[in-house]
A and B are shown apart, each in its own frame.
Chain A
Amino acid sequence: DTEVTQTPKHLVMGMTNKKSLKCEQHMGHRAMYWYKQKAKKPPELMFVYSYEKLSINESVPSRFSPECPNSSLLNLHLHALQPEDSALYLCASSQDFAGVTDTQYFGPGTRLTVL
């Protein structure tokens, strides 16, 4: 089973709303990732969690707040977003054993529209 699930599939929100994106995997992976993908562009890394600790924050604005409640779950809390934040948000996971190369498996994404 190489499935990463994401909810919701689609989200429309206003600039004053607070919402959350959710990601789940049951492959025993210990690294989880958030990417942002604009139309016709490659995915851009936002955050990396390794063993439930934030390892990489790619200078993402504070209106995006990640959370890793346990090794299977990854959330992205959204607050006071801008229309330019509209994009496909992809979650991925990998084994992340130190010193071992590994594949990242992607979820189907949440298509976010900010009005």
Chain B
Amino acid sequence: EDKVVQSPLSLVVHEGDTVTLNCSYEVTNFRSLLWYKQEKKAPTFLFMLTSSGIEKKSGRLSSILDKKELFSILNITATQTGDSAVYLCAVEEVQGAQKLVFGQGTRLTINP
């Protein structure tokens, strides 16, 4: 059965800290890995990763994929209270149409 596992499930840090969120996966017909941030409602897109070893950056956030070891990490530097959210990792597999398999999410809380 396809699996996407995120760790830690919950993380509490102080503003200014750097955090690393982990996502490991076992899926057949892998196509890409996506990171989303979910606050109160809809998940908002952060990154899509398709190639190993190529870091994607957006401001204080960055992410990288290792297709050999089947994992990805999401880094957030100089965290701010607005970074508090659930971070979802999803793996896209090809199954006729696109299908996303989500991990359980990491609940990140940034304290001032």
Mark A residues whose CB is within 8 Å of B. 2, 4, 31, 33, 41-45, 48, 50, 55-56, 88, 90, 94, 96, 101-109
- Nearest chain-A residue to B101 (Cβ)? A45
Q: In the complex, A74→B48 CA distance in Å?
A: 25
How many residues of chain B get a CB closer than 8 Å to chain A's CBs? Answer: 25
Closest to A101 in B: B32
Taking A41-B104, A42-B104, A42-B105 as contacts, is the C-beta distance between A103 and B45 under 8 angstroms?
A: yes
Q: Is B45 in contact with A31, judged by CB distance below 8 angstroms?
A: no
Residues of B contacting A109 in the complex (Cβ-Cβ under 8 angstroms):
41-42
- B103–A108 contact, CB under 8 A? no
Q: Which of B92-112 contact A (CB under 8 A)?
A: 92, 95-105
B67 an interface residue at 8 Å Cβ cutoff? no
Q: Are A104 and B98 in touch, CB under 8 angstroms?
A: yes
B residues less than 8 Å from A31 (CB atoms): 97-98
Name the A residues within 8 Å of B45 (CB-CB): 2, 103-106
B97 and A90 within 8 A (CB): no
**In the complex, are the beta carbons of A94 and B98 less than 8 A apart?**
yes
Inter-chain contacts of A103 with B (CB < 8 A) = 34, 45, 48
Chain B residue nearest to A54 in the complex (CB): B97
Whole-angstrom distance between the alpha carbons of A48 and B98 in the complex? 8
